[in-house]
Amino acid sequence: MDLQKYRNHLFQTMKSKLEAWLHTDEAGKIQGEEVYRFLHSIKGTSGTLQLAGLMNLAKGLLDQLKEDDQKAWDQIELKTFLFPLIQLIYQYENFNEFVDHDTPCSNADAPLIQIIDDDVSLLMFLKDALEEKNWMVMTHTNPEIAVNKYFEMKPDCLILDVALPNKDGFQVLKEIQEHSEKYFVPTIMISINDNRQVRIEAYQNGADDFFKKPLDMDEFIVKINRHLQRKKNFDQSVLIDELTQIYNRKYLADSLPRYFHDFKRTRQAFSVCIVDIDFFKKINDSYGHLMGDQILRDFAQYLKQHVRSLDMVYRYGGEEFILVFPKTSKEETKERLNELIKGFSNMEYIYEEKRFSVTFSAGVCEVDDESVTVEEALKRADHSLYEAKRLGRARVECLQSLPSQHKRTIVNISVIDDDVIIRALLAQLLESLKIKQIELNIKTFEDGPSFLQSEHAKEDVNHFIVLDGVMPIMDGLEVLQAIKQSDNAYKYKVLMLTGRNSKKEIEQALKLGVDDYVTKPFYTQELRARIQRILNQMQ
């Protein structure tokens, strides 16, 4: 007997019931007895239809309830409680299968590949093919947007077409190479024309490899994998940060514990500091990532030249640096850092005839107790840095104990999708994210107008949006265009959900400057990783 049509009917019944409940606005509307009967029915029917996974899930949820439960569930509580069921319904509806925990999925640390090509069909094909290998791929058709994203996201491999609109691939590669010679990023150029002169010019401009279109995908993937491995080996072997030419995070992890070991032997206090360039994101937005990189280089060298020979300077990540002052009390450290802040703020930068200066803030932890660990010292310094930022920046603070609460930067997150199951799924996924120093303010909207007219959209904070491409009233492209034309467009990052074969939609989204796109149906863990990577850039 073919059970498939009965299984489909069961899942449609479950989805209809959940949609009705999740659309409920009144708190206490859904009675506990109703939830119990719903799960009890699923358990019995799924067992009959040989859906053991669904039966066990329903049984597990039922075990947490009582048949005569008088509890009145509000929408948020019920959504959280039934989330495993919501996830299973999405998986079955889109893949006609249950959650496969062995399915490969990208994580936030997966290698990032950037592809720049004006052939959208090829971009879509390459993105799908490479992401099957558990790599993360971002695509661009506009060379100007692509260069900005290169410096912002810092990919692990660049794939670049020779023939591009307005600016050819050689010009793009030359621009990248001129301003990022300190970075090692394997670059592959592709072209329909592979004559000798084109290949020579590609290598002269810094390409590491060259492929003729149409691509031999087996060879192409093997070469990409090899280049990514070279990049990984290089990153693991070097102790010097490529951009700033000071010690990197790897060397910090190797060397910092030695200071704690020495303290236990000598009992001489020392200070660990985290310093951070003030308003660095605004600098990048106003003057470009190239100027931002120049400031990072100058800042690193300034610190290196103005500390003692026994002091250590490391690049911690982004615009954060760590300083270690051996045999130095917190009072002495604060005095030195204040002098460094004053000196660096006197340096002047010029961008398009505009003159500006840059400051930094610092957080200090004095290690004067052998019970203090490396992790705790860094956490104290980080909280002290936050306090310096909170009190006005361009200053030094030293907290010797961790505060009970630590206020973080707010980022508004919006999920805009007309499917209530998708909204519930993504909201729960986003709520599970933990991003350092960022508090996520998450809201969901069933259409574009309700988002654009909301106070949530108008708040003067950074925004991240997960946007469905196809919606009633106002489609995703219209919402994206409204966002990109707004006065505070620079504060938005947008990830669009689009159909697998929606070439025209993807082409328009890329032209409008979407930050990333994911085709439906998607694996939730892969989408979570992509979102986390984007949010990490918004700190």
- Catalytic positions are 319
Q: In the 3-class helix/strand/coil scheme, how is 113-151 assigned residue by residue?
A: EEEECCCHHHHHHHHHHHHCCCCEEEEECCHHHHHHHHH
407 exposure class (CB count in 10 Å sphere: 0-12, 13-18, 19+): exposed
Q: How far is CA 68 from CA 33, 71, 83, in A?
A: 6, 9, 22
User: Strand, helix or coil at 440?
Assistant: strand
Select from 185, 297, 327, 320 the least CA-distant residue to 249.
Answer: 320
Residue with tokens 């053991």: 52
Kindly state the DSSP code that residue 49 receives in the 8-state scheme.
T
Q: What are phi and psi of 263, to 5 degrees?
A: -60, -40
Q: Half-sphere exposure of residue 236, counting CA atoms within 13 Å on the CB side?
A: 6
**Contact (CB, 8 A) for 160 and 187:** yes
- Kindly compute the dihedral angle of the four CA atoms of residues 505, 509, 514, 519, in this order, to the nearest 10 degrees: 10
Select from 139, 179, 183 the least CA-distant residue to 161.
Answer: 139
168 exposure class (CB count in 10 Å sphere: 0-12, 13-18, 19+): middle
**Contact (CB, 8 A) for 474 and 418:** no
DSSP states along 240-268: B-TTT-SB-HHHHHHHHHHHHHHHHHH--
